[in-house]
Chain A
Amino acid sequence: MAKVTVFVTLKPTLLDTQGRTVENAVHHLGYSDVTDVRIGKVIEMDVAADSAEAARSRAAALCDKLLANPVTESYRIEVDG
């Protein structure tokens, strides 16, 4: 069993309205050194697979099909175990 974590983020070309709002708040708090705040989703799952690579490939197929919209989002996969 592999623990798989999928990070889904908006493509850099797409305006991230939530990220921009949070960045404004960050600056109001005085953290002017913090920029380019972007918000995404973290999806955790267990995948029954023989190897980390097999688990990764299952998760990637799921990302392409359901978890990420290829028009607006990109994804990154981490496999643990």
Chain B
Amino acid sequence: MNSAPPAPPAPPRIGVVVFPGSNCDTDAGNAVEQTLGGEASYLWHADKDLENVDAVIVPGGFSYGDALRAGAIARFAPIMEPVARFTADGGLVLGICNGFQILCEAGLLPGALARNEGLRFVCRQVYLRVENTDTPFTSHYRPGQVLRIPTAHGEGRFTCDDAVYDRLIGENAVVFRYCDADGRSTPEANPNGSRDHIAGIVGGPQRNVLGMMPHPERAACAWLGSEDGVGLFESLGAALLDGKRAAFAAQRAAPAPV
């Protein structure tokens, strides 16, 4: 007797990690549900289970009050063990703001985020240039597209040594750079003194990890002031559906078990 046909792909389920002091977790979850038709599943920092989610968002905030350094304590939270394994297996992970800081502290992305050059907490809309559309997070943008997305951080100055910088450039791993409204990376358009205007990078074994300081989840619908972050979530949703469709097709094509 033949087994039942495999079920068609379900909408993506995206895990949002919640640390004590996270404050953009609900925004990220709302963006997931409103822009890519997925389901947000909140993952508590003290748990050790990703609950079979299809992707993970490490959201912004001030995990553990930024004690010692932003992200330094959060990287040792129990939930980060399965996140690291998920990353190594090629799972899609998006770190926003404090999430980017945590992924760098955890060694899942290279570099570090130092205190802003101007010492101020920078909380305003900035412009970003999309440098790389060949990632699961940016496929719905045009190369060179200028996005208007808010930033809110005190420690966002992307810093790395020359060897890491050369590798990032060589591997085309810079995904977003700060720029002005016309897409030019002038000194004035760099809100925090980041090296080479870097606002977001991609890493991981299959370029499956994106870290960025600005907040696409706060630019996810018109009444928030910008919809320019929607493309990022749509790209993520499309990448997950593509993966699910491929798995579905492979499952159907496989000979039925005897």
Chain A residues, CB < 8 A from B69: 69
Instruction: Decide if B111 is an interface residue (CB 8 Å cutoff).
Output: yes
- Contact yes or no, B160 A18, CB < 8 A: no
Tally of B interface residues using CB under 8 Å: 18
Instruction: Decide if A45 is an interface residue (CB 8 Å cutoff).
Output: no
Instruction: Decide if B68 is an interface residue (CB 8 Å cutoff).
Output: yes
Shortest Cβ gap from A75 to chain B (Å): 12
Shortest Cβ gap from A34 to chain B (Å): 20
Chain B residues, CB < 8 A from A67: 68
Decide if the interface of chain A is mainly helix, strand, loop or mixed.
mixed
Per-position binary interface string of chain B over residues 122-142, scored 1 when its CB falls under 8 Å from any chain A CB and 0 otherwise: 000000000000000000000
Distance, CA A72 to CA B159, complexed state (A): 8
Choose among A17, A66, A71 the residue that contacts B115 (Cβ–Cβ < 8 A).
A17
Shortest Cβ gap from B197 to chain A (Å): 15
Given A14-B159, A15-B193: A69 and B105 interface contact (C-beta under 8 Å): yes
Instruction: Decide if B4 is an interface residue (CB 8 Å cutoff).
Output: no
- Contact yes or no, B119 A18, CB < 8 A: yes
Give the A-binding residues of B (Cβ under 8 A).
68-69, 72, 76, 104-105, 111-112, 114-119, 159-161, 193
Give the B-binding residues of A (Cβ under 8 A).
10, 14-15, 17-18, 21, 66-67, 69, 71-72
Given A69-B105, A71-B104, 7 other A-B residues pairs in contact with their CB atoms under 8 A: A17-B115, A17-B193, A18-B115, A21-B119, A71-B112, A71-B160, A72-B159
Q: List 26 A-B contacts (CB under 8 A).
A: A10-B114, A14-B114, A14-B159, A15-B193, A17-B115, A17-B116, A17-B117, A17-B118, A17-B119, A17-B193, A18-B115, A18-B119, A66-B68, A66-B72, A66-B76, A67-B68, A69-B69, A69-B72, A69-B105, A71-B104, A71-B111, A71-B112, A71-B160, A71-B161, A72-B114, A72-B159
